Amino acid sequence: MNVLVPLPFVLLLLGAALTMISRRRATWLRVLAPLAVAASLAAACGLMAAVSRDGVIAVQMGGWAAPLGITLVADRLSALLLVVSIGVLLAIMLHAVAEGAGGTSETEPGVFYPAYLTLTAGVALIFLAGDLFNLFVAFEIMLASSYVLMTLTPTAERIQAGMTYTVVSLMSSILFLASIGLTYAAAGTVNLADLSEHVANLPEGTRTALGLLFLVVFGIKGAIAPMHLWLPDSYPAALTRVTAVFAALLTKAAIYALIRVETLIFPREQVSWIMLVLAAATMLVGTLGALTHDDVHRVFSFILVGHIGYMLFGLGLFSIAGLTGAILYLVHHIVVQAALFLVSDLMQGRTGETSLRRLGGLAQMSSFIAVLFFIPAMSVSGMPPSSGFIAKLALFQAGLGEDRVIAFVVTGVAVLASLLTLMAMSRIWTLGFWRPRPEEAGEPPAAASYTRASTRLMGTVTAVLVVGGLLIAVFAGPLSSWSSMAAADLLDPTAYRNAVTQGGAP
């Protein structure tokens, strides 16, 4: 079973190499790239089954025993997020294949597919990395690919947004590397399992300083307020299929890393005031920002920022119930946020617009698109019986279960943020779908840029993601049980440490 741990990552890198070799043959690219992601998804599903049966699985790459070598680890949390993330990335890949088959420039596929697969490999490695340095490497693999994807089909706006994104990402990476160096200087290791024992023996001031450094690093990468300002200015400028990837996974990968570092290296037995305050601020800033913008992609980007706060809320509680809610919310948001951006791509394809000032009449144009928007919009707003409602209910129960005023206050803020999200989604629903198309918007563009088969595939893939969000609610029982066990593992990392120090086979 140890071979399954690196396999999702290795298959994606192999796929990236093959698509780079075949970059001048668009047809090959559109076959090889989805096959590579599908193979990685199959390996991730096998790994999840192995973790369910055997518990935590660790592999020491190159035959070097921990903590000296490169350690890859799969536990319940990483296996679950690996399957969900690669599944969503496969759906977005198929959407991109359909979009490219209908009129993408001849040069773009040769850049898009290798960069996409490399980004996917970086995401997989983030979930599997067992030491801080390789976690840094995984983020750099992901971010280097995202720089390329951000500026595909360059325009002045896209280049400017790419510069903002690049500068912020590089700054956070430099801070990340400095944090790793300081951690190594203080503890003499960067292996996560080893650090969980060594950091506990450091002076309290040193632990606090290191913990705050990592909070800032992943706060920037995860768009936690007030470190979020780069995201709404960057994501909307990219191609919609690229923005769907970014919104679904880039910030969630940072939140996963924050959960892993905070629970394994800097554990605590009580709520974190600073995290709960940041969670409340992130919820309010994001959802209020969504109400002030007219561009659909900017609205979705601010909603993304606001809902990062829910995951931070669950982590800040530092309880099994809180972490269970955070994990459920991670899974829900990866799927639903990707679905929303793919739906917006369909909306833009029918109207040529993303501005609410010029959108209108979409429900009359396509009831199919209207349904596809309505379901994830209500889910992200937390309306029952959606997956968003189930994840938020778990967080609300966790917050109210804590005998702390701060937990009660943040729970109230979370309820308010849900109402604000509903207002933002209702605004798009009313203006974009139900009012008549404004006269100044002119006639919708002809849909000749895509073939009928291409349009159908794009709609089908988007519908699959929307149904995936519904299935999270349908299988909420088993998913909650898995998430609860993953949360318990996070708060008691004994099995994780034992797997790395004793069970990792070279």
Average pLDDT in the chain: 90
pLDDT tens across 1-15, in order? 688 999 999 999 999
pLDDT band (50, 70, 90) for residue 450: low
Distance, CA of 78 to CA of 43 (rounded, Å) = 13
Distance, CA of 384 to CA of 365 (rounded, Å) = 28
Check residue 448 and give its pLDDT. Answer: 43
Q: Where are the alpha helices (DSSP H) in 386-451?
A: 387-401, 405-428
Cα distances (angstroms) measured from residue 488 to each of 264, 333, 437, 474, 495: 12, 21, 52, 23, 11
Check residue 1 and give its pLDDT. Answer: 61
Interval 306-321 mean pLDDT: 96
Check residue 310 and give its pLDDT. Answer: 97
Would you put residue 74 in left (φ > 0), alpha (ψ -120 to 50) or beta? beta
Check residue 194 and give its pLDDT. Answer: 92
> Is the pLDDT reported for residue 413 higher than 90?
yes
> Is the pLDDT reported for residue 150 higher than 60?
yes
In a domain, 293, yes or no: yes
Distance, CA of 129 to CA of 139 (rounded, Å) = 10
SS3 140: helix
Check residue 502 and give its pLDDT. Answer: 77
In a domain, 127, yes or no: no
Give residue 101's Cα distance to chain centre: 27
SS3 74: strand
In a domain, 469, yes or no: yes
Check residue 241 and give its pLDDT. Answer: 87
Q: What are phi and psi of 13, to 5 degrees?
A: -65, -40
Q: What one-character DSSP code corresponds to residue 60? A: E
- Segment among 75-89, 142-156, 162-176, 187-201 with least mean pLDDT: 142-156
Distance, CA of 311 to CA of 251 (rounded, Å) = 11
Count CA within 13 A, CB hemisphere, residue 422: 13
The proportion of the chain whose per-residue pLDDT surpasses 90, expressed as a percent, equals: 72
Check residue 505 and give its pLDDT. Answer: 43
pLDDT band (50, 70, 90) for residue 276: very high
> Is the pLDDT reported for residue 410 higher than 80?
yes
Distance, CA of 47 to CA of 78 (rounded, Å) = 10
In a domain, 410, yes or no: yes
Distance, CA of 180 to CA of 202 (rounded, Å) = 15
> Is the pLDDT reported for residue 363 higher than 90?
no
Check residue 503 and give its pLDDT. Answer: 55
Q: Where are the alpha helices (DSSP H) in 246-360?
A: 251-264, 273-291, 296-317, 320-351
Check residue 27 and give its pLDDT. Answer: 78
Hey, what amino acid is at 112? F
- Segment among 13-27, 84-98, 149-163, 433-447 with least mean pLDDT: 433-447
Distance, CA of 48 to CA of 78 (rounded, Å) = 9
> In which domain, by residue range, is 306 found?
268-437+447-474
From the number of C-beta atoms within 10 Å of its C-beta (0-12, 13-18, 19+), residue 467 rates as: middle
pLDDT tens across 216-251, in order? 999 999 999 999 989 998 888 888 889 999 999 999
Kindly give the pairing relationship between strand 70-74 and strand 57-61.
antiparallel
Would you put residue 272 in left (φ > 0), alpha (ψ -120 to 50) or beta? beta
> Is the pLDDT reported for residue 258 higher than 60?
yes
Interval 240-265 mean pLDDT: 93
> Is the pLDDT reported for residue 445 higher than 50?
yes
Q: What are phi and psi of 505, to 5 degrees?
A: -85, 135
45-46-52 Cα angle (round to 5): 90
Hey, what amino acid is at 21? I
Largest Cα–Cα distance of the chain, in whole Å?
A: 70
Check residue 107 and give its pLDDT. Answer: 46
> Is the pLDDT reported for residue 104 higher than 50?
no
Interval 483-504 mean pLDDT: 89
Contact by Cβ (8 Å): 51, 79: yes
DSSP structure string for 336-383: HHHHHHHHHHHHHHHHS--BTTT---HHHH-HHHHHHHHHHHHHHTT-
pLDDT tens across 105-139, in order? 444 557 889 999 999 999 999 999 999 999 999 99
Q: What one-character DSSP code corresponds to residue 443? A: S
- Please state the length of the chain: 506
End-to-end CA distance of the chain: 12
Check residue 262 and give its pLDDT. Answer: 94
Contact by Cβ (8 Å): 225, 302: no
Specify the higher pLDDT residue, 360 or 174: 174
From the number of C-beta atoms within 10 Å of its C-beta (0-12, 13-18, 19+), residue 273 rates as: exposed
The proportion of the chain whose per-residue pLDDT surpasses 70, expressed as a percent, equals: 95
Residue pointed to by tokens 């040069």: 107
- Segment among 15-24, 69-78, 394-403 with least mean pLDDT: 15-24
Check residue 100 and give its pLDDT. Answer: 75
In the structure encoding, which two tokens stand for residue 443, read together?
């006639």
Domain count, the chain: 1
Question: Each residue of 419-434: b (16+ CB within 10 Å) or e?
Answer: ebbbebbebbbebbbe
Give residue 129's Cα distance to chain centre: 17
Q: What one-character DSSP code corresponds to residue 385? A: T
Q: Return the sign of the alpha-carbon dihedral for residues 483, 484, 490, 493.
A: negative
172-177-181 Cα angle (round to 5): 145
Contact by Cβ (8 Å): 253, 264: no
- Report, in angstroms and rounded to the nearest whole number, the Rg of the chain calculated over CA atoms: 22
pLDDT band (50, 70, 90) for residue 101: very low
In a domain, 184, yes or no: no
Distance, CA of 329 to CA of 389 (rounded, Å) = 10
Q: Which of 470, 243, 230 has its CA nearest to residue 348?
A: 243
pLDDT band (50, 70, 90) for residue 176: very high
Angle subtended by helix axes 108-128 and 132-150, to nearest 10? 160
